[in-house]
Amino acid sequence: MQRYATDPLPAGSPYPLGATLTRSGTHFAVHAPDAERVQVCLVDDGAETRIDLPHHTYGIWHGTVDGVRAGQQYGYRAYGEWNPRRGRRMNPRKFLLDPAARRIDGRLGDATALLSYAGDDPFGDPSLVNSFAHMPRSVVGVEPGPVTDHLETPWADTVIYELHVGSFTARHPDVPPEHRGRYLGLAAEPILDHLRRIGVTAVELLPVHAFLSEPSVRSRGLRNHWGYSTASYFAVHPGYATAPGREIDEFATMTAALHAAGIEVVLDVVYNHTCEASIAGPTVSWRGLDAPGYYQLDADGRDIDITGCGNTIDAYSPAVVAMICDSLRYFHGRLGVDGFRFDLASALGRTAGVPFDSRAPLLSSIVADPMLQRAKLIAEPWDATAAGYQAGNFGLQWSEWNDKFRDDVRRFWNGDQNVRELASRLAGSEKLYGRNRRPWASVNFVTAHDGFTLADLVSYEHKHNEANGEYGRDGTEHNFSTNHGVEGPSDDPDVVAARSRHARALLATLLLSTGTPMLLAGDEIGHTQGGNNNAYCVAADAPLQDSWPLDWTGGNDELAEYVSRLGALRRSAPALRQAEFFSGRDTPTGHPDLVWFGIDGRELDNDAWHDDSRRTLQAWIDVSDVRSAADEVDLDETSWLLVLHAGPAAGISLGAPEWFDGTLEPAFDSSDSLGRPREMLAIEPDAVVETTGPTVLAYRARPRTR
């Protein structure tokens, strides 16, 4: 059944923005406050019919065109001042996408035709080239019905899995060929089975807002693969649909299937910049309608770039606040998305020359919205500048990517980090998030799309980004990685064993730490990118099956089983996924909830904490005051001892508090390829356990029966 807006729309109202079907036609509305005239351009058989929008209300040009139905392609042309020094770049020769379009169709053509200026000077005369033949089209669509089946999995129980829709299933042998690399591929039962097997409760999808490759990438014969180059904040990316026009329905099918499997959907959203790059870049939408209203510009009309992508959205602009909140509500309320990870989120709390403000207009509007405040909100708490690094400084309702966890854990297992920093990360990074927030505000990760995969982290000391065409200038130099003696692939059994052991220790640390763990898709099967730590682009004509695909056929199923065991252990033990910080609080028994020991089984004193040569840390986690968001804590649940040893073979004396009267039951051993303890019999505290190298051990504390 086709859905319409209220018909007729309220007399004189410009809302909603975008193309809204009515019973008589379609109502078009676009924000262009300084335009003198705006035309909606209807496209049929490669030709356009231009129609003036008759009304201008609240800075919005709007009007209804009778007879226009779903599927109609369209765009806009804006007439007005050409004064680049004041940011005015309206040029009616440029065909513009609707910023609120629910669908877009087509590709970019000649790069020169997309420029709004003539010649090589962005401040020169306006271009006389009509961009119509070189632009995608907006498409009138049918509004999906509301979605109300959000899972709202408690944060303390959440395990996130970051994946790329195209790469993830592109070569999966058990996914129907026509669904590989598509939204429907994620709905395939073998994929759902795999996600459930390894304990995933939420998938975090790299950008699925419709995107177009930026000029610098296109000029090298490449295309943007990750999708951090947004062309529409409302349209679902059509490249992951089985055919153009099916993307909304197939996205909804994917979301419903994941929900039915108990898995939430989180989107990586790029509201900090757009695909239009700097003022020297193309004009495809926002710049041609209201550049000063959408972008941060300096006094000379140049883009203020704190994103490293050429432009920065002005999140202090009412038009931008409205656009982004409308976009979030659309994906949450109409397409069933459960949460959002905000790329370079610090840029959303900053404007020209003003320090970051966690109560900035956009950030406040999001958390105050009755719908959005129930979604999972995750900030990447930095941008491309030093001032933008704001880890720990977002508001109370936000979780944040914790890069300190990533770096400190990597360094510990490389043998060059002290136990003080490791202890902080294991316990939820309280110094960062302890001000009226919960441990799950720390989204812990060791790897992410941006950087080495886990397999590459233990196989390469240097990035190998030649395929990106930037002569190795792209991608971070600070990887805290190691190659175990050989750069890249190796058949040496000792090297292979050391790498595998290292990877397992990293995974165990991630999944047994307090906070919200995030896994990178493919790490559990040994996915490699050949040492590329910035795999954001591929050849322009590369099919999805050749665009950084996961190798499921040759994948390491034993490692996947290891991760599955870790996930089951985490789920079974509320003490390992606490919803409140330890903070040294006394339990109902009067004992501390967390005690730290060294390799000798003795509690760490001040001197021990500051001995940077130590490579062994033991954590006693008391169970008697576990505070879970759910009412499911097993009364028979036990306390735990975690042992993390990053040194060579050594004997470790197991620690336990003096008040504990019981035994320690082995539950996990990362030195085994499947995480199985070498000995299953319970042992006494102070017993010496021999390790053969870097190892994570977990023991259940069993009180003696009287």
259-307 tens-digit pLDDT = 999 999 999 999 999 999 999 999 999 999 999 999 999 999 999 999 9
* Contact predicate 626/655, CB 8 Å: no
Taking each helix axis as running N to C, give the angle between helix 557-572 and helix 189-197, from 0 to 180 degrees, rounded to the nearest 10. Answer: 60
104 φ, ψ (degrees, to nearest 5): -130, 155
Structure confidence at residue 627 (pLDDT): 65
43 three-state secondary structure: strand
Q: For 162-171, what is each residue's pLDDT tens digit?
A: 999 999 999 9
Q: Greatest CA span in the chain, whole angstroms?
A: 91
Q: Choosing from 98, 343, 524, 593, which is the catalytic residue?
A: 343
Lowest model confidence (mean pLDDT) among 138-147, 157-166, 362-371 = 138-147
Q: Does an H or E element contain 215, and which? A: helix 215-218
380 is catalytic: yes
- Contact 282/393 with Cβ under 8 angstroms? no
Q: Which of 125, 84, 100 is nearest to 15 (CA)?
A: 100
Say if residue 587's pLDDT is above 80: no
Give the integer Cα–Cα distance in Å for 204 and 148. 20
CA distance 5 to 27: 9
pTM, rounded to two decimals? 0.96
Which residues, listed in sequence order, are joined to residue 701 by a DSSP beta bridge? 639, 664
Give the active site residue among 250, 380, 456, 622: 380
Cβ atoms of 582 and 619 within 8 Å: the answer is no
- 205: Cβ contacts below 8 Å, ≥ 6 apart: 163, 164, 165, 265, 266, 267, 268
Nearest to 321 by CA among 289, 365, 353: 365
Would you give the DSSP letter of residue 353? T
Confidence of residue 626 (pLDDT cuts 50, 70, 90): confident
Q: Which helix (H) or strand (E) holds 165?
A: helix 165-169
509, pLDDT greater than 70: yes
Q: Can you give the pLDDT at residue 435?
A: 84
Contact 282, 115 (CB under 8 A): yes
pLDDT in tens, 675-694: 999 988 999 999 999 999 99
CA distances in angstroms from 240 to 178, 203, 247, 413, listed in the order given = 11, 16, 7, 38
Predicted confidence (pLDDT) at residue 650 exceeds the cutoff of 50: yes
CA angle in degrees (0–180, nearest 5) for 303-306-309: 70
* Cβ–Cβ < 8 Å for 486, 530: no
Q: Encode 44-107 in three state secondary structure.
A: ECCEEEEEECCEEECCEEEEEEECCCCCCEEEEEEECCEEHHHCEECCCCCCECCCCCCEEECC
The torsion angles phi and psi of 504, rounded to 5 degrees, stand at -65, -35
Helix (H, G, I), strand (E, B) or coil at 340: strand
Alpha carbon distance 283, 286 (integer Å): 8
Q: Which tokens hold the place of 540?
A: 């322009």
Q: What is the mean pLDDT of residues 395-411?
A: 98
Nearest to 422 by CA among 615, 608, 602: 615
Between the alpha carbon of residue 261 and those of residues 10, 165, 169, 186, 197, the distances in Å are 41, 17, 17, 11, 11
Token pair for 215: 């000029």
Confidence of residue 149 (pLDDT cuts 50, 70, 90): confident
Query: Does residue 73 surpass a pLDDT of 70?
Result: yes
Cite the beta strand spans of 198-262 per DSSP E. 202-205, 222-224
Give one word for 152, left, alpha or beta, with left for phi > 0 and alpha for psi -120 to 50.
Answer: left
Average pLDDT, the chain: 95
DSSP 625: T
Which carries the bigger pLDDT value, residue 568 or residue 585?
568
Q: Which residue has the higher pLDDT, 4 or 351?
A: 351
Residue 425 amino acid letter: R
Average pLDDT of span 328-334: 98
Beta carbons within 8 Å of 339's beta carbon, 6+ residues apart: 202, 264, 265, 266, 267, 375, 376, 377, 378
Sign of the torsion angle spanned by Cα atoms 658, 660, 662, 667: negative
Distance between CA 399 and CA 181 in Å, rounded? 29
Separation in Å, CA 293 to CA 85, 122, 353: 14, 19, 17
- Is 343 assigned a catalytic role? yes
CA dist 433 and 408 (Å) reads: 16
DSSP state of 473: -
What span, in angstroms and rounded, lies between the C-alpha atoms of 433 and 381?
Answer: 12
| Bridge partners for 663 per DSSP | 702
